[in-house]
A and B are shown apart, each in its own frame.
Chain A
Amino acid sequence: MDSESNIKWNPFSPNYSEDPYPHLKNCRDNNPVQRMSDDSYFIFDYKHVSKFLKEKKFKVHSLSEYLGEKETYIFKNVENGCPYLSKATELWPMFLNDDIHRKIRRAITKAFYSLELADLLNESLETTLGTFENKETFNLVDFCGIYINHFIKKALNIDVEEYEQIKQYSNLLAKSQELYIPKQVYQEINAEILSRKNVFKNSIFKDVILEETKGLNLDDDQLYSIMMISFMAAFETSKDNLSLGLYEILKNPELIEFILKSDTKELKTIIEEIFRFSTPLQYTIRINPYSINVGDCFIPENSKLYLCIASANRDEKIFTQPDELIPNRVVNPHLSFGAGAHQCIGATIARQEMEISLVPMLRFLKNYSVTDVKWSKQILMRTANTITVCKKS
């Protein structure tokens, strides 16, 4: 492994937001383990990403602690600034280890699986198709977002009428864990989170969380922390997966026809391929409690390892024609839901969302074509801000 290779990971390289995959391939092919100037490491190949996700002794870092350390700086010279970022992220399971992680993870899982999902999702689909019926042009991201939001809003009893506001709230929560966030944006996130402390009204979901965490004596802020992450984790990734997937499919009329004709088994295979292809969560971070060698690269203990799931999911050693969306891909061990102790608890739900919506949505959307796309600059979570579609004449 050539640590002197001049291929360096740089999410500000030209066109990265539009299409990160050529740059990630370049990294994977030429410099698959990279040490950064802050002594963190980036890992791009499937073999190691997969291995490190599953490594039982590896830890996750604490976002809440990081934000806590930075709060004095972030709120310096801010009048009436009430630092809440660290508190707000305290119980987000992707940043917890050991016993507290297991407890919070179990509570959120139970709460989600106490919902009548199929009914909620069918109702969401009907509402979405109704909302966009007869529209000449619209934003496909909102089309997907409204579908996902409709069910989450009911399940979590969210007291916000306007979809635009919910979208903004979720996006700011997602940004709190992003890379390269300036203090000005952290201040905005902080204000938003504080102003919405009472948005999650009483619900079965909340009751289950409380019941399952009885022994922990959670205070209101901690309960709010769990509700926020349940909302954001479920909304943001599902919306992104569906919109990125539909965007790709709409470019290819043969693929649309293939999906419209698919049977249940074929549909499940296609949906897995959409998860691989979109990889909504593109990176995740682990800490190695002991030193390791990755190829020729020595990594000292307690380093921050950025595992590039997006790159692993396009590794040609595992996936033939990795940059093609192949609807009948047979071998598909993608890592879009992570793996190991932090593997996504919502994978079954995400699959169900797709199984219910994909065919009816395509039947509706096949009369439309994509005319414009605006990608977000986010790095950890791949998101389009707008995908404009217009009715074909």
Chain B
Amino acid sequence: MIIKNWLLDKIAEESGLEKDTINCDEPIENFELDSLSSISIAFDIEKEFNLDEINPTVFQEFNTINKLAQWIQNQI
């Protein structure tokens, strides 16, 4: 839950959307983040959760906030 909330905050901040309008099962690509934003979010995830460099393709495979949160959970 902590991870999911952290991600939700991040994505709200990056996309400029209100937090409560973001659906955690919706594909992240719908939030219109460009590649620089995705890379910057990945960088924050690495820092926050002490992970090695993230392959940006995880965003394609784990393409919703719920899936991504689960993925991060499994890495740490």
Nearest-neighbor residue (CB-CB) of B35 within chain A: A38
User: Quick one: CB contact mask for A1-25 with B, threshold 8 Å, 1 for yes?
Assistant: 0000000001010000000000000
Contact call B53/A182, Cβ cutoff below 8 A: no
CB neighbours of A377 from chain B (8 A): 53
Contact call A184/B43, Cβ cutoff below 8 A: yes
Bound Cα distance from A10 to B44, whole angstroms: 21
B5 CB-CB contact with A under 8 Å: no
Contact call A184/B44, Cβ cutoff below 8 A: yes
CB neighbours of A102 from chain B (8 A): none
B40 CB to closest chain A CB, in angstroms? 4
B57 CB-CB contact with A under 8 Å: yes
Contacts A73-B36, A182-B43, A183-B43 known; list 6 others, CB within 8 Å: A12-B53, A73-B37, A74-B36, A77-B13, A183-B37, A185-B43
B74 CB-CB contact with A under 8 Å: no
Contact call B43/A12, Cβ cutoff below 8 A: no
A302 CB to closest chain B CB, in angstroms? 19
A181 CB-CB contact with B under 8 Å: yes
Known: A182-B42, A182-B43. A70 touches B36 (CB 8 A): yes
CB neighbours of B40 from chain A (8 A): 182-184
Closest 5 CB pairs of A and B: A182-B43, A12-B55, A182-B40, A183-B40, A182-B39
Contact call A180/B39, Cβ cutoff below 8 A: yes
CB neighbours of B37 from chain A (8 A): 73, 183
16 CB < 8 A contacts A-B: A10-B55, A10-B57, A12-B55, A12-B57, A73-B36, A74-B36, A77-B13, A180-B39, A181-B39, A182-B36, A182-B40, A182-B42, A182-B43, A183-B43, A184-B43, A185-B43
Bound Cα distance from A279 to B53, whole angstroms: 24
CB neighbours of B55 from chain A (8 A): 10, 12
Bound Cα distance from A169 to B43, whole angstroms: 21
User: Quick one: CB contact mask for B21-60 with A, threshold 8 Å, 1 for yes?
Assistant: 0000000000000011101101110000000010111000
A172 CB to closest chain B CB, in angstroms? 15
B29 CB to closest chain A CB, in angstroms? 10
Nearest-neighbor residue (CB-CB) of A179 within chain B: B39
CB neighbours of A181 from chain B (8 A): 39
CB neighbours of B43 from chain A (8 A): 182-185
**How many residues belonging to B are interface residues under a CB distance threshold of 8 Å?**
13
B71 CB to closest chain A CB, in angstroms? 15
CB neighbours of A185 from chain B (8 A): 43
Bound Cα distance from A2 to B55, whole angstroms: 25
B24 CB to closest chain A CB, in angstroms? 23
Contact residue among B13, B35, B44, B56 (Cβ-Cβ distance under 8 Å from A12): B56
A375 CB to closest chain B CB, in angstroms? 12
Nearest-neighbor residue (CB-CB) of B36 within chain A: A70
Q: Which of B36, B43, B53, B55 has the most CB of A within 10 A?
A: B36
Nearest-neighbor residue (CB-CB) of B46 within chain A: A182
Bound Cα distance from A12 to B59, whole angstroms: 13
CB neighbours of B13 from chain A (8 A): 77
Bound Cα distance from A181 to B42, whole angstroms: 11
CB neighbours of A12 from chain B (8 A): 53, 55-57
Q: Which of A73, A74, A377 has the most CB of B within 10 A?
A: A73
Bound Cα distance from A70 to B36, whole angstroms: 8
A70 CB to closest chain B CB, in angstroms? 6
CB neighbours of B56 from chain A (8 A): 12, 180
CB neighbours of A182 from chain B (8 A): 36, 39-40, 42-44
Contact call B53/A183, Cβ cutoff below 8 A: no
Bound Cα distance from A377 to B55, whole angstroms: 12
Q: Which of A38, A70, A183 has the most CB of B within 10 A?
A: A183
Bound Cα distance from A292 to B3, whole angstroms: 47
Bound Cα distance from A74 to B43, whole angstroms: 13
CB neighbours of A10 from chain B (8 A): 55, 57
